[in-house]
Amino acid sequence: MRPLGKAASDDDRPLIERVRKGDQDAVRTLYERYFDRIYNYVYARLGRAEDAEDLAIDTMTRSLTRLDQFQDQGVAFSSWVYKIAHNATIDHYRRHGKVTLVSLEQATLPQSADPSELALEQLSNEDLRVALRALTDEQQQVLILRFFQDLTAPQVAGIMGKSVGAVQALQHRALGSLERALQGRAVN
Amino acid sequence: MTSEAQRLERLAERLRVVDPVAPSPGAKIRGWNLVLAAVERSATVRSRVHPVRRLVIAAVAATVLLVAGAVAASADSLPDSAFYPLKGVIENVRGALAFSPSDKLAYHLDLAQARLTEAEAMLAGHRIELAERVLAAMDNQLNDAAELVQLEKQSDPALGASMENRLTQAIATHDKQLAGLQGQVTNPTALSAIIAARYHAAQALKLAAKPAASDGNPAGSLGGNGQGNGTSATPHPTPKH
């Protein structure tokens, strides 16, 4: 797996202070730290490179020009950036509708000897992404943040505004739904 | 057959190794340019309107509005108005800015006319005491104007004569107005105040008409009402006595 770069963390505050003072190097560092991650998050949600680019740029612009609002939130900068990306994605859905580029029915999924088991090794990354987009909004969000973005359950809880326990339960249900989606069953 | 927990764990592991999709280099550069431009613009706006500066600007704007409003309100205020003292301050400022003898004369005549207008309003509102005071203030202005004419006649007879002519016309106009008022009022105090005002105006006219004194001093003020120097007279709407 190609790493996404430095994991989102709470040590962004010194950089943020520098951004406030007009330090362009700090802006650049934060941009480099988050742009790919946010692009990847949005792409996983939308599946279209053009939209993902626009929304990632929009998210970074909002994040770095509205630091006064961030100060008031009392959360990690990373959580704040992901929330902005999430809201941008929801807005995009509202404006353009939720588009599934490749339906699960059209996707050719490999079969294992045991129908209850998926031949996971044979699934392509795109198969997984397509299946994931068939889940509910929250289920998609928790799986993308936990596994694509490699965030911890407490970090995801901070972003989603839920307890860690609720995130773990949601993650469990989401994995079950994804498994059923990949098996071609009805998605909950 | 594996348990559900094991299957889901395997699925989770599979998700962990999904390669991230990277943005194109072009998108990243475009994004950086847009973000940088937005940050610079935002910094400019922030520095332009810093919160503290915004407060100062708001306070200054509010003060200016208040002062402008008060000045505007005081311009036509009458002696029974809360803004009337401010009118006196503004008149003092205006007096300080009158430098030439001609400007000073115009200043005193304007103020005398203003006091007369105020007296008419006070009499109409049966504010006899206030009417009495502003009529006295009018006489002060006319007396100061007369002293100014006297001084000018000594230094520049031609200009002095011209100023005397202006004062004469002004006092004649005032006297007509006062005569009209005199015919309207019945209150004895008001009546005597008007008569006194007409008398003092006539005395001011006499003072201005006197030949220029050789010692450089005015020929004499009337009843000590004026300031005698033509510049630091009593422009304040509230008379001194």
Cα distance between residue B235 and residue B142, in whole Å: 11
Backbone angles phi and psi of A111, in degrees to 5: -110, 145
Find out whether B123 and B83 touch, Cβ atoms under 8 Å.
no
Say what the alpha-carbon torsion angle A185, A188, B3, B9 is, to the nearest 10 degrees: 110
Q: For a pLDDT cut of 70, what percent of chain A falls above it?
A: 79
Q: What's residue B74's pLDDT? A: 76
Digit-coded pLDDT (tens) for B175-195: 998 998 888 888 888 889 999
Distance from CA of A66 to the nearest CA of B (A): 8
* List of chain B residues with pLDDT < 70: 1, 44-51, 53, 212-241
DSSP assignment of B40-55 equals: HHHHHHHHHT-HHHHH
Nearest CA in chain B to A145: B16
Question: Are B36 and A24 in contact (CB < 8 Å)?
Answer: yes
Residue type, A33: R
**Chain A hits for B38, Cβ within 8 Å:** 61, 64-65
Nearest CA in chain A to B17: A1
Buried b (16+ CB within 10 A) or exposed e, A106-125: ebebeeeeeeebbebeebee
3-state secondary structure of A76: coil
For A150-157, the CB contacts below 8 A with 24+ separation are: A150/A4, A150/A7, A150/B16, A151/A7, A151/A8, A155/A8, A155/A76, A155/A78, A155/A79
Digit-coded pLDDT (tens) for A129-157: 989 998 999 999 999 999 999 999 999 99
**Chain A hits for B12, Cβ within 8 Å:** 146-147, 175
Q: Which residue has the tokens 């901070």?
A: A158
Contacts of A27 (CB under 8 A, 6+ apart): A19, A64, B35, B36, B39
Contacts of B159 (CB under 8 A, 6+ apart): B101, B102, B152
Contacts of B230 (CB under 8 A, 6+ apart): B101, B104, B108, B144, B145, B147, B148, B151
What DSSP state is assigned to residue A144?
I
- pLDDT category of residue A99 using cuts at 50, 70 and 90: low
- H or E segment to which residue B13 belongs: helix B4-16
Residue, of A111 and A182, whose pLDDT is higher: A182
Cα distance between residue B177 and residue B183, in whole Å: 10
Residue, of A113 and A143, whose pLDDT is higher: A143
Q: Would the pLDDT of A112 be above 60?
A: no
- Using a CB–CB cut-off of 8 Å, the residues of A that contact B are 1-2, 4, 19, 22, 24, 27-28, 31, 35-36, 39-40, 43-44, 49, 52-53, 56-57, 60-61, 64-65, 114, 116-118, 120-121, 123, 125, 128-129, 143, 146-148, 150, 172, 175-176, 178-179
Question: Exposed/middle/buried for B116, CB within 10 Å: 0-12, 13-18, 19+?
Answer: buried
Question: Exposed/middle/buried for B50, CB within 10 Å: 0-12, 13-18, 19+?
Answer: exposed
Digit-coded pLDDT (tens) for A50-88: 999 999 999 999 999 988 788 666 678 898 999 999 999
Q: Would the pLDDT of A164 be above 60?
A: yes
Q: What's residue A127's pLDDT? A: 86
**Chain A hits for B1, Cβ within 8 Å:** 114, 116-117
DSSP assignment of B144-161 equals: HHHHHHHHHHHH-HHHHH
Q: Which residue has the tokens 């053009």?
A: A50
Cα distance between residue B163 and residue B146, in whole Å: 9
Tokens for B165, please give them. 């002519």
Question: Are B23 and A39 in contact (CB < 8 Å)?
Answer: yes
Q: What's residue B211's pLDDT? A: 77
